[in-house]
Chain A
Amino acid sequence: MPFVMPDLRPVLPEIVMTVLALAILLADLVIKRKETIAFLSIVGVALVTYVLPGSMGTTFNGMFLSDGYSMFFKLIFMLNVILTVLISVKYIVIEKVNFGEYYALILFSTLGMMLMASAGDLIVLYLGLELMALSTYILAGFIRYDIKSNEAAMKYFLLGAFASAFLLYGTSMIYGLTGTTDLKAISAYIVANGLSGNPVLMLSMILFAVAFSFKIAAVPFHMWAPDAYEGAPTSITAFMSVGPKAAGFAVLGRVFLIAFGSVKLEWSAVLVPIAILTMGVGNIVALSQTNIKRMLAYSSIAHAGYILLGIIAGTSDGMASVLTYMLIYAFMNIGAFAVVIMLRSEGFKGDNITDYEGLSKTHPLAAALMLVFMFSLTGIPPTAGFMGKFYVFMSAINAGYTWVVIIAVMFSAISAYFYLRVVMYMYMKEPKETVQLSTSPAIGLALAITVIAVLFIGISPSTVVNLARAAVSGF
């Protein structure tokens, strides 16, 4: 077979990202001021975002698809990386892990996510997932002298490897049945040969559901999340709770709606109980948390449950609501973590919920920002969180899952307790000790971006929603 030069235009953003990550790795040798490296990373990511719109197309025999769907997810990843870098600059100095590799690994992890969102083939999907996961494991254990960080990396790594095994087992089953790993070819083969009732297909689908549930931290495959989120550096917790989750949803949507499109009834029967359990366990266990990072971990589990409803709906409206929710979630969750990071200062951990007592008296602006993010995570209008939930629930109702939505709304009401408890501590209690905030211009910028986005999308969601609808139109 002669070698034909593949069309490289669709992979241009990934190529720029790879070059950027390698350049950052080398720049670390000569540049002593790590803030410069952070700045260069942001400039580079902006460049990737700039070449993103011109990269539509399919290449490498359909192994790589760059369409509106992948484009929207990549936009979320870019946002995630920029915000994470902004909140990291000061924080990693305080944690004494101010190394250049930190930024390179974040970029490599994002590259893995981009490949996942664009994967048209199960092999590319798996390799993208490993690239993302391996970089994140290392980042979770980045504070080497901290035993909690080690524990986080270890648990994340072991359970992640376990999930990869499920993914590969599912892939081998589907390859054995259909003789291909191409997502569209799998679906075509199943339809052409009437295999939609085949038990092998069912087992493969269940194995994929398990593997992806690990990645999005859905119950009962969520056990790693609270420990990993608590122990990892807080900036990486923010990164992990948005990026890999979004990437997980990107592949979940693509694999289930395309490759397993003909067995939709069966996979929604698998995903509905997972979604209900995820919302239930996430919200109820979050009630008893005293550590804010653990609380936000359970909150992130619960949010995965809400987003699953959009996938279960299985319509293009449902997918559009997943995209919208993921974008909104990126803003509000990283915003909340930015406030958590500000409380961390030299010699003060600041990750207990009681540390927020009376914050409105000592630092009114930080308290007000936290208030907005907590309201948004609860889903109180006029914040973006409300709009996200609204669209996901609407699409699920339109698809005929009214009873699931009723359960979701009930759990969502429960969630108000633990989110608003933080607000109550900040506004209705007297400060015990003066908490020192570690602010910097970078974190200020991140907070400004997130709070403006949360309020803007909350008041006029049409821009984002239309963008998401346009993104899934070619799906």
Chain B
Amino acid sequence: MLAKLFFGYYAAVIILLSLLVVTRKNPVRSVMWMLLLFFHIASLYLFLNAEFIAAIQVIVYAGAILVLFLFVVLLLNLREELKVKRFIGSWPAGLFVSAAILAIVINVIRSFVLVAPPGRYSIEYIKEATHTKALGTILYTEYLFPFEIASLVLLIAIIGAIVLAKRKTRSH
């Protein structure tokens, strides 16, 4: 009962905060609501016994990515931005599409069936090995290959930032 209440609170607040993030006109306010949103998502992870992911959520998302967002907002001309009309005018159409997708997903989700046998990473296993260690082990053994590809994706991001931003606009 308590668990359901806990989940219900966080789920409702996350939806509310997400709506606030996408509907605010002032980007600074959007970013601030997003900060709150990230903390709520982190709590949800904590609730699922995933303390490492919760910590990462706070450190990486709230700590690093949000600061990046604020830097970008800093570079924008906020006074101009507030006067500019929104790019997408027809919000009823957007609302209709989102509502339709929501209805489909709610309908579909009811037919989730759990016939899968419990995997190796049961709650007992994770409690014994601790979450961080279990995650680290799996990341460097079973998922080593995707892990290596992810490092290349990050490298591309760095190269891209340098190529697109640092170059002088015209070479000689």
Residues of A within 8 A of B (CB): 1-4, 6, 11, 18, 25, 60-61, 63-64, 96-99, 101, 104-105, 108, 111, 115, 121, 123-124, 127-128, 130-131, 134-135, 137-138, 141-142, 144-145, 153, 176-179, 189, 193, 195, 198-200, 202-203
Q: Indicate if the CB atoms of A115 and B141 lie closer than 8 Å.
A: no
Question: Does the CB pair B104–A203 fall under 8 Å?
Answer: yes
Check A144 against B164 for contact (C-beta < 8 Å).
Answer: yes
Known: A4-B141, A134-B153, A153-B164. 14 other contacts (CB 8 A): A1-B141, A11-B145, A97-B171, A99-B167, A108-B152, A108-B155, A111-B152, A124-B146, A130-B153, A131-B153, A142-B163, A144-B164, A193-B115, A200-B108
Question: When the two chains form their complex, are residues B163 and A108 in contact, meaning their CB atoms are under 8 A apart?
Answer: no
**Assembly CA distance A9 to B14 (angstroms):** 47
List B121-172 residues whose CB lies under 8 Å from chain A.
Answer: 137-138, 140-146, 149-150, 152-153, 155-157, 159-160, 162-164, 167, 169-171
- Interface residue tally for chain B (C-beta within 8 Å): 36
Q: Which 7 A-B pairs have the closest CB atoms?
A: A179-B116, A138-B160, A127-B149, A60-B145, A145-B169, A199-B108, A203-B108
A176 to B105, CA, bound (A): 14
A198 touching B116, Cβ below 8 Å? no
A353 to B158 alpha-carbon distance, docked (Å)? 38
Contact between B152 and A131, CB atoms less than 8 A apart: yes
A243, chain B: closest CB distance, angstroms = 15
- Bound CA span A294–B20, Å: 39
Inside 8 A of B149's CB, which chain A residues have their CB?
Answer: 115, 124, 127-128, 131
Measuring CB to CB, which residues of chain B are less than 8 angstroms from any residue of chain A?
A: 104-105, 107-109, 111-113, 115-116, 119, 137-138, 140-146, 149-150, 152-153, 155-157, 159-160, 162-164, 167, 169-171
In the complex, the answer to whether A131 meets B143 with C-beta atoms within 8 Å is no
28 A–B pairs (Cβ distance < 8 Å), ordered by A: A2-B141, A3-B140, A6-B144, A61-B142, A96-B170, A97-B171, A101-B162, A105-B156, A108-B152, A108-B155, A115-B149, A127-B146, A130-B153, A131-B149, A131-B153, A135-B156, A138-B156, A138-B163, A142-B163, A179-B119, A193-B113, A193-B115, A195-B113, A199-B111, A200-B108, A200-B109, A200-B111, A200-B112
Shortest Cβ distance from residue A452 to the other chain B in the assembled complex, whole angstroms: 35
* Cα-based distance from A57 to B170 in the complex (angstroms): 47
**Complex Cα distance A203/B103, Å?**
12
> Cβ of B115 and Cβ of A176 under 8 Å apart?
no
Q: Nearest residue in B to A4 (C-beta to C-beta)?
A: B141
Which B residues are in CB contact (< 8 Å) with A137? Answer: 160
Q: Which residue of A lies closest to B160 (CB)?
A: A138
Q: Which B residues lie within 8 Å of A98 (CB)?
A: 171
